[in-house]
Amino acid sequence: MERRNFLKTMGTGLTVAGLGTTVGMISVEEALAAYAPGNTAQAYDMVAVMNGEPVAMFEKAIAAMGGMEKFVSKGQTVLVKPNIGWDASPERGANTNPQLVAKIIEHCFKAGAKSVSVFDRTCDNWRRSYENSGIEKAAKDAGANVVSGDVESMYKTVSFPKAKKLKSAKVHELVINSDVFINVPILKHHGGAGITISMKNMMGVVWDRGFWHQNDLQQCIADFITWKKPTLNIIDAYRVMKRNGPKGVSINDVTLAKSLIISKDIVAADAAAAAIFGKKAQEVDHIRLAAGMGLGQMDLSKLNIQRINLG
């Protein structure tokens, strides 16, 4: 099976949490069995891991990418940006998995990071979101500095000269000043953007995000990365909210996908994650727009991708 066909089908046949049923098409296992592995003679552009727990999948993925030492050097400051937007427990699939966040922080310190910070500009009350997501405790236990995203003075105005709609925004100083920026979104449904993944997760680093919703949300999502792209994108697709996003109504909105994607290319990462969700990349406007602006590769057949099945 060609790479593009694999990534159209990976993530289908997923088990709905609590129901034990599947959601359409062929299974991840069938797709993986029919696909030739990536070319190990060169560095991978992306690693996709399936059928494991969040920490185990990340361990395999970062090792295949060459280790965190490829992205974090001794003495550097690191920002790890998960989705902590909602006052919801991990089982709801609204926020990034806390154990995954903790393990990423651990690897950053092992690579020699001077400090690791974690924050998000939440939608629900930030204290409750930080606590009930489980991310605050997990990040602190791993040694990170957990910072409120609710202090406007910590946001500085940045201009985006290459943007089409989003010409400037107030961006958190951690994004501006950190040496390494690791983006850790969760894949889920979103009522406005269709789905939210790596690029959409950037709305959690700006203060004035209302402008995005009022001035062509999809273009603004693409515009932001004309200014700065994360050093690394690690997509949590363990629990995937298939409807009623971005917060969800109940655990019945969640599908157990048991997948993780890691890539330096934010557009490619989102294109692959969209396939897990059952969408073609070109069907997601902000992915298509970003690719058209030359901000990343949407055509996954042009990438060297390693697939790892832990099942």
Residue 293 sits in a domain whose CATH number is 3.40.50.11440
Taking the C-alpha atoms of residue 53 and residue 239, their distance in angstroms, rounded to an integer, is: 10
**Residues spanned by the domain of 281:** 3-309
Which structure tokens are listed for 215?
């001035």
- Using an 8 Å Cβ cutoff, are 260 and 238 in contact? yes
Q: Looking at residue 36, what is its pLDDT?
A: 42
Peptide bond into 90 cis (omega under 30): no
Instruction: Summarize pLDDT for 77-107 with one digit per residue, the tens.
Output: 999 999 999 999 999 999 999 999 999 999 9
* Bridge partner list, 101: none
HSE-up (13 A, CA, CB side) for residue 235: 37
Instruction: Summarize pLDDT for 38-84 with one digit per residue, the tens.
Output: 555 468 999 999 999 999 999 999 999 999 999 999 999 999 999 99
* Residue 10 pLDDT greater than 70, yes or no: no
Average pLDDT, the chain: 88
**306 backbone dihedrals φ, ψ, rounded to 5°:** -100, 130
- Using an 8 Å Cβ cutoff, are 202 and 286 in contact? no
Beta strands in 45-197 (DSSP E): 46-50, 77-82, 115-118, 145-146, 155-159, 168-172, 180-184, 186-190, 194-196
For the chain, what is the domain count? Answer: 1
